[in-house]
Amino acid sequence: MAGRSRFLSAEFHLILLCSKDLVGKTGATTVIKTDLADIYRDYIACLNKQDWRKLEQFVHDEVYYNGQRIWISGYREMLERNFYEIPDLYFDIQLLISDPPLLASRLGFNCTPQGKFLGLHVNGKRVSFTENVFYEFRREKIEKVWSVIDKAAIESQL
């Protein structure tokens, strides 16, 4: 009887392990979604701090921006130029949807671009606008970015 008890105990333990594996696999999707959203929030914090050394933690070397491969160096140059032309630039996440490997975000801006911005003579006037951005991640890094800025919102404020 003791042998049978050990067998049943081992069998029960195996069922528990299998159940935990299934729960883990079911929950893994949720964890991945949460992780991807957390990674994105950390990426936005990196941008807001202008911590360019950490950019490679979030962005692939061969990053594509609106269908064009610009490499991480081109991506960094674009971001640095944005901060140079808009000294008070701050990325504010207004909406975030994660469906790995894709992520969508609506970013809000309230800033004072210097000179021309998107071909518009803003010249330091405070403007508010949004950007709708879609990302594709590969191995927890941004590989593709599709960005649409609401230029009409800026035009209406000039």
pLDDT band of residue 25 (cuts 50, 70, 90) is: very low
Domain spans in the chain, listed from the N-terminal domain onward: 35-155
What value does the mean pLDDT take over residues 110-135? 96
Does residue 71 carry a pLDDT above 50? Answer: yes
pLDDT at 31: 43
Task: Return the CA Rg of the chain.
Answer: 23
Does residue 13 carry a pLDDT above 80? Answer: no
d(CA 141, CA 1): 56
Spatial neighbors of 67 by CB under 8 A, at least 6 apart, are 146
pLDDT at 2: 52
CATH pick for 35-155 out of 3.10.450.50, 3.10.100.10, 3.10.20.740, 3.20.20.80: 3.10.450.50
* Reported pTM: 0.78
Task: Take residue 81 and report the two structure tokens written for it.
Answer: 């130029």
pLDDT at 4: 46
**According to DSSP H, which parts of the chain are helical?**
2-49, 71-85, 151-155
What value does the mean pLDDT take over residues 86-111? 97
What value does the mean pLDDT take over residues 64-92? 97
pLDDT at 65: 98
